Amino acid sequence: MLVTAALAANVTIVQSVFHGFSPQGVTGLVIIEESHFSIHTWPEYGYTSVDFYTCGDGMPEKALTVIKAGLHANRTGSVFVGRGQALNNLAMSIRYHRKCLVE
């Protein structure tokens, strides 16, 4: 599904890797020339986190449509974070989430 989403976003896939957990759930990464897409699922909580990091002419909104339909999600939220807006050549951006559903 994530590969299909990347294709819908009109980005160039380089490689993908997915890891399934027992008894359920998956973590996956699709490396694209424009950056990467990732997915982490917690079916036992009915929760999925998807990150689309892109630059150029990719259309992550189209990828979101594919993921939403594939997961049969009845509720979604999106956050757009601009990046690469540095004033000089010595910039770095780090964003992270500390709360984890799995204990």
Query: Tell me: the pLDDT tens digits for 36-79?
Result: 999 999 999 889 999 988 888 888 889 989 999 998 988 888 87
Catalytic choice (16, 55, 72, 93): 55
Rounded Cα distance, 47 and 101, in Å: 9
CATH of the domain spanning 2-71, picked from 3.40.50.720, 3.40.50.880, 3.60.90.10, 1.20.210.10: 3.60.90.10
Helix spans in 1-103 (H): 2-8, 60-71
Catalytic choice (16, 40, 72, 97): 40
Percent of the chain having pLDDT more than 70? 79
Among 9, 4, 17, CA closest to 34: 9
Copy the structure tokens of residue 20: 């399934």
Whether 55 is a known active-site residue: answer yes
pLDDT greater than 80 at residue 97: no
The model carries a pTM of 0.76
Whether 40 is a known active-site residue: answer yes
Overall average pLDDT of the 9-22 stretch: 95
Domain ranges within the chain, ordered by starting residue: 2-71
Catalytic choice (16, 35, 49, 72): 35
CB 2 within 8 A of CB 67: yes
| pLDDT for res 53 | 86
Percent of the chain having pLDDT more than 90? 50
